[in-house]
Amino acid sequence: MKPTISLALVLTAFLTVPSAVAAASGDHFDRDRVRAEVRRQAREAMRETRRTIRDAQREVLRARIERRHELRDSYREAMRDMRRAVREAARDARRAVRDATRNFWRD
């Protein structure tokens, strides 16, 4: 959070210094209008910064959720493969027993 605050302060400084210099050297009656403009720009910069942070957090959350889904899907696929292998092994064992008993009674 500290880098965000620092970034906001630097951004605000960059926006306010030129306006303050222009207001001081120019017409003194426009001071309120310039001050309002500076405040508006600072608020806009802060909103944009918060929006960017919120979007980054949202993207991180989406990536985390997607990774979780990928892990779950790979786990499910591994379980399916294991069940399939167990079924085939059981089927082969039953066939072997059936063939052994069939050959036993024929001999």
Between vectors from CA 5 to CA 4 and to CA 10, what angle results, nearest 5°?
100
Domain residues for 80? 2-106
Six-digit token pair at 64? Answer: 């985390």
How many structural domains is the chain composed of? Answer: 1
In this predicted structure, the answer to whether residue 17 has a pLDDT above a threshold of 70 is no
pTM across the whole model:
0.49
Distance between CA atoms of residues 23 and 35, nearest Å: 9
Q: With cut-offs at 50, 70 and 90, classify the pLDDT of residue 29.
A: low
What's the rounded mean pLDDT across residues 30-37?
84
Range name among 11-15, 47-51, 72-76, 92-96 with the lowest pLDDT average: 11-15
pLDDT above 80 for 87: yes
Cβ neighbours of residue 31 closer than 8 Å, sequence gap 6 or more: 23
Q: Give residue-wise pLDDT tens across range 35-84.
A: 889 999 999 999 999 999 999 999 999 999 999 999 999 999 999 999 99
Q: What is the DSSP string of the chain?
A: -HHHHHHHHHHHHHHHHHHHHHHHHS-GGGHHHHHHHHHHHHHHHHHHHHHHHHHHHHHHHHHHHHHHHHHHHHHHHHHHHHHHHHHHHHHHHHHHHHHHHHHHHH-
**pLDDT at site 4:** 72
